[in-house]
Amino acid sequence: MTFGEQPAYLRVAGDLRKKIVDGSLPPHTRLPSQARIREEYGVSDTVALEARKVLMAEGLVEGRSGSGTYVRERPVPRRVARSGFRPSGGATPFRQEQADASVRGSWESSSEQAEAGAAIADRLAIEPGQRVMRTKYLFREAGEPMMLSTSWEPLTVTGRTPVMLPEEGPLGGMGVVERMRAIDVIVDNVTEEVGARPGLAEELNVLGGVPGHVVIVVQRTYYASGRPVETADVVIPADRYRVAYHLPVK
């Protein structure tokens, strides 16, 4: 194979992908059979199979038991709007994660004490094994699961205070900035790092998707005078949403 030449299975997958994208193979259309691919492209069964695997891993097609492989419906991506600090007056968890005030949604959550693993301890500038409050959220838009979030708060900051449980007490559900202010911890900075990876099986089971689907991961940390007081991983399905940032000009 000369430099720059693609393997045969990628060339076949690329041509089929083009047909899916331009509508020649519309959603719900049955993908050509392995024998048809072999005949049309002059390739082996192995190449035809690998090409189909590529399209499946990309989420462009799906297998239906006893029926074959079909082109998936391609959703029109919606926006997850994000900005720095939330408007004054209190922010619900949904407002905390989705800055667009026009969006309405619901969420469910659960909190438990846990020991910080090495990665979370590093993000919170604490020692591994220190106790944290871990809260898991599932956010829904119009009843459809759209986003997962797991947050960690060091109990050296919130332990034995009225805001130790993010979703309970007098400020339950009001967001990190407001809750921390209530215990005289003034949040003055927030950082977000955005990346992508294949979704974990348990994530895709909740959010919807097939193995290999990519998720966007927003790693967010709130600071008070340089000290991390909360960190979170926000997981968003990449095939259905785009992350849009609204940043003030100073």
Decide which of 21, 47, 71 is a domain's last residue. Answer: 71
Same domain, 84 and 116: yes
Greatest mean pLDDT range, 18-22, 97-101, 120-124: 120-124
**Domain of 83, in residue numbers:** 78-245
Same domain, 61 and 134: no
pTM of the model: 0.77
Q: How far is the C-alpha of 150 from the C-alpha of 148, rounded, in Å?
A: 7
* Cα 59 from chain centre: 16
Same domain, 125 and 29: no
Q: Could you count the other beta carbons within 10 Å of the beta carbon of residue 215?
A: 23
Res 240 pLDDT > 60:
yes
Same domain, 200 and 104: yes
Same domain, 135 and 212: yes
* Of 110 and 169, more confident: 110
111: in domain: yes
Q: Quick one: pLDDT at residue 6?
A: 84
Decide which of 44, 71, 98 is a domain's last residue. Answer: 71
165: in domain: yes
List, for residues 143-154, the tens digit of each pLDDT value: 889 999 999 999
Q: How far is the C-alpha of 111 from the C-alpha of 164, rounded, in Å?
A: 10
Same domain, 209 and 122: yes
SS (H, E, C) 3-25: CCCCCHHHHHHHHHHHHHHHCCC
- The 10 Å CB-count burial string (b at 16+, else e) for 69-105 is bbbbeeeeeeebbbeebbeeeebbbbbbbbbeeebeb
226: in domain: yes
Same domain, 56 and 132: no
Total of domains in the chain: 2
Same domain, 149 and 184: yes
What's the rounded mean pLDDT across residues 25-48? 93
Annotate 204-221 with DSSP letters as a single string: HHHH---TT-EEEEEEEE
2: in domain: no
* Of 112 and 98, more confident: 112
CB 51 within 8 A of CB 12: yes
Q: Residue 177: name the closest of 100, 85, 102 by CA.
A: 85
**Which two structure tokens, joined as six digits, stand for 123?**
């993000």
- DSSP character at residue 30: B
What's the rounded mean pLDDT across residues 128-147? 94
* Of 2 and 16, more confident: 16
67: in domain: yes
Same domain, 46 and 158: no
**Which two structure tokens, joined as six digits, stand for 33?**
């059979």
Q: Quick one: pLDDT at residue 89?
A: 56
Question: What are 214's strand-pairing partners?
Answer: 198
Confidence band, pLDDT 50/70/90 cuts, at residue 248? confident
Q: How far is the C-alpha of 139 from the C-alpha of 152, rounded, in Å?
A: 17
**CATH number of the domain enclosing 24:** 1.10.10.10
Res 106 pLDDT > 50:
yes
Spatial CB neighbours of 240, under 8 Å, sequence gap ≥ 6: 75, 77, 78, 146
Q: Quick one: pLDDT at residue 247?
A: 75
List, for residues 37-71, the tens digit of each pLDDT value: 999 999 999 999 999 999 988 878 988 888 889 99
